Every structure is written in structure tokens, then in C-alpha cells.
Amino acid sequence: MTSPRPIIIDTDPGQDDAIAILAALASDELEVLGITAVAGNVPLELTARNALILVELAGRTDVPVFAGCDRPLRRDLVTAEHVHGKTGIDGADLPDPTIALQPQSAMDWMIETLLAAGEREITICPVGPMTNVATVLETAPEAARNIREIACMGGGFFDGGNTTPTAEFNVFVDPEAAQIVLHCGAPVTMLPLDVTHKALMTDAWINQVRDLGTRTGAAAAGMLNFYERFDVDKYGTFGGPLHDPNVIAYLLRPDLYSGRHCNVEVETESPLTTGMTVVDWWDVTDRPANCQYITEVDSDGFYELLLDLLARLP
């Protein structure tokens, strides 16, 4: 039996972040070393609080939670309460956390953990703005040698953006951070809107989550019912995309996904296209490939996997 894959989840919960966290905590194949919170969907005070709530919901208070950056590297913070509600995880009536954040900063803990690890040992999973990870890479660039993979949710090229015409939210909030991550030297896999928009929730699936009859199932279904209304109204689809859990599903079932190894850059200067992920899909430049850019998913397989993982939680 192979050892679980050690991962760090860097997150700004967010209902879809919440499902990603719960799925990872439920998996026997992943070892969640810690959860690091960053400002994004809502301010840091709330994202850190939400991460604590979620580890308690999952019965996994052994997993430490750290607070990271409260604003992007070089910009003012943009948040998304209009999507996620004032708490970030509206839709579930969850109690206040009884556990506390770790005293160490997310960045200090990540640096310490990476430098103590073996070469290419730890996978980093940013499912929010990449400010914490970029700060780590700028502060201790040597830590990149011990990163097995950075599997992130962010970006969009063929589908455009969801925050501006060209920019996806996580990258738009801190485009400089995303650009640093893409050029850190560690293997990067990006799961953008181009793939997450191909995996839409259905009411029937959310009902299956609720019908698990567990506290986690009830909370998850409540969050998802609240969360999907924004994208259903915006896009006119039958259900909303569930972005961030694709990162966890990709780690567990890479056979569900396909894409291309190519060059990806982030626009950081243009006022018109700030935060755009520019993907050299057809290899028309001489820029070296730096990212595995995912564009296809087996949606049915993805939702079957998620349901199985959620069913393991209390």
C-alpha cells in the first residue's frame, strides 16, 4: 500500500473551497499537513474562521489551520460576498469554531515544512488567490525544490473570465502572485474555468449529498444550494460549476482529466486585461512550457468521486 500524498491546502473558503477541504480530509490517499488561509472570497478573518469551522465539521481537528496574507502582494483586496454571502460559507448554519488558529503565520509554517521535507515531496493546493504561496516562494525560493506539484484552481482562457471579461477571480485578486507561482520552477497544474465550467452541479446531485443523512451532508448541501444560484442566474445553466474541488479530484483521479503542457503567463499591467491567463495552447511563441493546463473532465466521474468522499465524513 502506498503512503498518502502529503498536501497543503491554501484556501479562502468560500463554499466551493469548503467542499474541496472536506473532500481532501475524507480521502485516505491524501495527508493534509495543514490548511493555510488567505484573503480572497471574503477577508482573512473570515476565511481563517471558515477553515477552522470546516475541520471541526469533518471531525479532523488534528489538522492545523494557519492564517496568512490579509491582502494581495501589490494591490487592494477584492472580495466576492455577492457570490459567497457575508460569511463566505452562507447556506449552512454552522457553529462558531471551538479550536484556535496556530500562532505561527501560514508563510512561516509553509517555509519550515517545505525546507524540512524531501525533494519533490509536498503538493501545494492553492484554491484561492496565490498570495501566501507567492510570498513563500519569494522569501525562500529554495523551498520550491521540495514541491512535488502546485495544483491550483485559477485562470481561464477559452472561457474568458468570471470577474472581468478576461480574468478569473483567484488570479484577478492577485495576478502578481499567480505569475510568481507559474515561474517558480516547481511543476504547476492549473485547473481553470475552461475545465470547471464543464462540470456543473445538478439539483439531483445536491439532493444526494443532503440524503447522506450526516451533519456534513446537510451542511454541504445547504452551502451548495446557496452558492450555485449566482452562476445559474449569471450563465443561464441548469447548475453551477464547482470549481475548487476539481483540484482534489485531479490529485486523486488524474485519469478524469486531460489538458496540455504549455506556456501560461498572467497579465499584470494592462487595465483592460489585468489578471488574464494567456495560454500558448498552440505553441506559437518561443516561451517555454511552464504549466499543465487542464481543459477536459469526466463530469460524471468527478461528481461520483465527490459524493463518495463526502459520504465518509460524519
Secondary structure of residue 183 in the 3-state scheme: coil
Residues with Cβ < 8 Å from 223, sequence gap 6 or more? 15, 18, 19, 89, 90, 91, 92
- Half-sphere exposure (Cβ direction) of 208: Cα atoms closer than 13 Å: 14
How many CB atoms are closer than 10 A to CB 64?
16
**CA–CA distance, 25 with 313 (Å, rounded to integer):** 9
Q: Pick the catalytic residue: 82, 183, 197, 243? A: 243
Q: Considering just the CA atoms, what is the radius of gyration of the chain in Å?
A: 18
Residues with Cβ < 8 Å from 98, sequence gap 6 or more? 56
Q: Are 224 and 201 in contact (CB under 8 A)?
A: yes
Greatest C-alpha distance within the chain: 54
243 is catalytic: yes
User: Does residue 195 come out as left (phi exceeding 0), alpha (psi in the -120 to 50 range) or beta?
Assistant: alpha
Catalytic machinery residues = 243
